[in-house]
């Protein structure tokens, strides 16, 4: 029988050695918190509160907060309360980097969520990958986000420019004609979307006769619109976003150019047009969701939104809110399924995860592509609703596309995800 005895000195020494070994050992952990802790799970919100996408950023944030509140009402995730910290990314990539760095290293956030601008999303994701922190890109939709700028830690929840173009271009060329002018916001999302549209126009027998670049922050579109009138195309394919797009829509409507030529707006974020007059909603545009879809769960979702945000000027949830909500909810579900906050375990739960049409409130089953980390989902084409049920009912859904029909093959080729081994381990 051993006569060894645990002394106070020995116990303290052992604890010290254990502590040092944990933090200075040969593991690539950036930070280790004990599991089964009641320490809250902290989420860093990286949405824009100022700049071109301030309005969409606010809607994105509201979606995340509703998902967080619902999770907390159920007891959080893994029995831990969900907390959040928001810092404005100002629709500026450099600010996005700084915000991400601060949220991870100083505010101890274990997950990052939120983006509307693809430039900001790219900047945030680079920092997140360096730390191994999972980042949900909720609403930015440049094809590069799930293509050449993809990362193992980043998941992209919105449809991208290629998905929307695929849904719209073929129909537009066969219906309206083959002469196409591209109107392109002069930054990453605009360029990449225009590149996809150009390829699709070529593929379907159309001709891009001109590409007009629109610098970010443009408020006067007269020069571009006069140019379009001089060229007289059959179709204008516009990839102009945020406040620029609002100004553009108002000026196109004022000139009465909304019906001829035909307009394809690759994507339409609800906060950008909410409250605008009907004649501002010209053209056909893509969206991932609409509150007017006649599907199970939609009404309850709208009711929950209205109960949580009784004073918000947007009286119904839009696509940006929806993406923010879904991304947050699915992240928390993945943590539960992984039974861990370890990043690799959660990433593995997200990769290839299949979501039923019912839980997505869409027409088709959606899946998180394990090779690009983009959610492959139903893409809807919509136009202005000239017979609205009420003042919110601005869109009329024209078609829905199966995710497989609008898949962005280019992203699949361009995306080279880091290996699990090259992704630092991180435990929140």
Partner 1 sequence: MDLLLPHIVNGLTLGLLFAMIALGFTLIVGVMEIINLAHGSLFALGAYFAMAWIGGDWFGASEFGIWWASLPVGMRYASALIFGPLCAAAAGMVLELCVRRTYGKAPLYGLLLTFGAALVIEELIRISWGTGEQSLTVPQLINGAFLAGGMIFSKYKFFAAGFAALSIVCVWLFLEKTPYGAIIKAGSHDSEMVRALGYDLSRLRLLVFGLGAALAGLAGVVMAPIWGLRPHIGVDVIIPAFLIIVLGGVGSFWGAVIAAALVGLAVGITGAYAPAWSMLSMYLLLIAVVTFRARGLMGRKSALEN
- Least distance in Å: CB of 344 to partner 1? 38
Considering the complex, state which of residue 145 and residue 269 has its C-beta at the smaller distance from partner 1: 269
Between CA 272 and CA 241 the distance in angstroms is: 8
Q: Contacts with partner 1 in 56-115 (CB under 8 A)? A: 58
Question: For residue 153, how many C-alpha atoms fall within 13 Å in the half-sphere facing its CB?
Answer: 27
The answer to the question of residue 225 lying near partner 1 (CB under 8 A) is: yes
Between CA 190 and CA 218 the distance in angstroms is: 14
Considering the complex, state which of residue 77 and residue 183 has its C-beta at the smaller distance from partner 1: 183
Give the closest residue to 243 by CA, choosing from 266, 221, 259, 212: 221
The answer to the question of residue 215 lying near partner 1 (CB under 8 A) is: yes
The answer to the question of residue 400 lying near partner 1 (CB under 8 A) is: no
Among 11, 12, 21, 226, binds partner 1 (CB under 8 A): 226
DSSP structure class, residue 419: P
Residue located via tokens 């949220």: 103
- Least distance in Å: CB of 185 to partner 1? 11
- Least distance in Å: CB of 44 to partner 1? 22
The answer to the question of residue 212 lying near partner 1 (CB under 8 A) is: yes
x-marked contacts with partner 1 along 256-275 as a string, rule CB under 8 A? xx-------------xxxxx
Task: Spell out the alpha helix ranges (H) of 74-179.
Answer: 93-105, 118-131, 161-176
Between CA 99 and CA 61 the distance in angstroms is: 15
The answer to the question of residue 220 lying near partner 1 (CB under 8 A) is: yes
The answer to the question of residue 227 lying near partner 1 (CB under 8 A) is: yes
x-marked contacts with partner 1 along 290-319 as a string, rule CB under 8 A? ----------------------xxx-----
The answer to the question of residue 278 lying near partner 1 (CB under 8 A) is: no
Q: Beta strand 262-265 with 235-239: parallel, antiparallel or unpaired?
A: parallel
Distances from the Cα of 327 to the Cαs of 129, 264, 399, 425, in angstroms? 18, 27, 24, 21
183 bridge partner residues: 212, 238
- Least distance in Å: CB of 254 to partner 1? 5
Considering the complex, state which of residue 131 and residue 321 has its C-beta at the smaller distance from partner 1: 321
**Binding footprint of partner 1, residue count (CB under 8 A):** 43
Between CA 166 and CA 172 the distance in angstroms is: 10
Distances from the Cα of 107 to the Cαs of 92, 206, 370, in angstroms? 20, 51, 30
- Least distance in Å: CB of 247 to partner 1? 5
- Least distance in Å: CB of 354 to partner 1? 35
The answer to the question of residue 214 lying near partner 1 (CB under 8 A) is: yes
Within 8 A by CB and 6+ apart from 35, the residues are: 340, 341, 427
Within 8 A by CB and 6+ apart from 285, the residues are: 164, 168, 264, 265, 266, 267, 268, 381, 382, 383
x-marked contacts with partner 1 along 164-193 as a string, rule CB under 8 A? ----------------------x-------
- Least distance in Å: CB of 184 to partner 1? 9
Q: Interacting stretch for partner 1, rule CB under 8 A, among 133-141, 224-232, 296-304, 361-369?
A: 224-232
180 bridge partner residues: 208, 235
Binding interface with partner 1 (CB under 8 A):
50-51, 54-55, 58, 186, 212-220, 222-227, 229-230, 243, 246-247, 250-251, 254-257, 271-277, 280, 312-314
């Amino acid at each position: 029988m051993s006569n060894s005895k645990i002394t106070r000195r020995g116990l303290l020494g052992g604890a010290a050695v254990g502590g040092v070994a944990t933090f200075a050992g040969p593991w690539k952990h950036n930070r280790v918190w004990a599991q089964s802790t009641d320490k809250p799970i902290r989420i860093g919100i990286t949405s824009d509160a100022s700049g071109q996408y301030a309005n969409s950023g606010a809607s994105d944030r509201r979606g995340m907060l509703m998902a967080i509140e619902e999770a907390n009402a159920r007891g959080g995730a893994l029995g831990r309360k969900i907390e959040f910290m928001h810092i404005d990314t100002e629709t500026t990539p450099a600010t996005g980097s700084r915000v991400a760095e601060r949220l991870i290293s100083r505010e101890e956030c274990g997950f990052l969520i939120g983006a509307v601008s693809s430039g900001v999303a790219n900047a945030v994701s680079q920092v997140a990958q360096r730390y191994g922190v999972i980042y949900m890109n909720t609403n930015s939709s440049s094809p590069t986000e799930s293509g050449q700028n993809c990362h193992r830690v980043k998941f992209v929840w919105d449809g991208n420019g290629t998905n929307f173009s695929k849904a719209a271009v073929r129909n537009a060329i066969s219906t309206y004609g083959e002469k196409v002018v591209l109107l392109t916001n002069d930054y990453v999302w605009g360029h990449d979307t225009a590149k996809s549209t150009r390829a699709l126009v070529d593929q379907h027998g159309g001709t891009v006769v001109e590409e007009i670049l629109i610098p970010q922050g443009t408020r006067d579109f007269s020069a571009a619109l006069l140019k379009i009138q001089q060229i007289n195309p059959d179709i204008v394919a516009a990839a102009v976003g945020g406040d620029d797009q609002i100004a553009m829509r108002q000026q196109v409507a004022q000139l009465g150019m909304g019906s001829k030529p035909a307009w394809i707006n690759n994507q339409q974020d609800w906060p950008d047009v909410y409250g605008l007059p009907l004649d501002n909603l010209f053209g056909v545009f893509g969206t991932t969701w609409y509150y007017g879809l006649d599907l199970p769960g939609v009404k309850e979702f709208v009711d929950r939104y209205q109960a949580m945000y009784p004073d918000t000027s947007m009286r119904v949830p839009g696509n940006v809110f929806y993406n923010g909500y879904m991304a947050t909810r699915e992240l928390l579900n993945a943590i539960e399924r992984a039974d861990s906050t370890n990043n690799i375990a959660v990433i593995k739960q997200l990769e290839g995860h299949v979501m039923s049409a019912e839980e997505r409130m869409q027409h088709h089953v959606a899946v998180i592509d394990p090779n690009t980390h983009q959610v492959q989902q139903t893409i809807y084409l919509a136009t202005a609703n000239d017979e609205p049920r009420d003042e919110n009912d601005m869109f009329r859904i024209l078609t829905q596309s199966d995710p497989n029909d609008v898949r962005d093959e280019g992203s699949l080729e361009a995306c080279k995800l880091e290996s699990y081994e090259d992704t630092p381990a991180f435990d929140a």
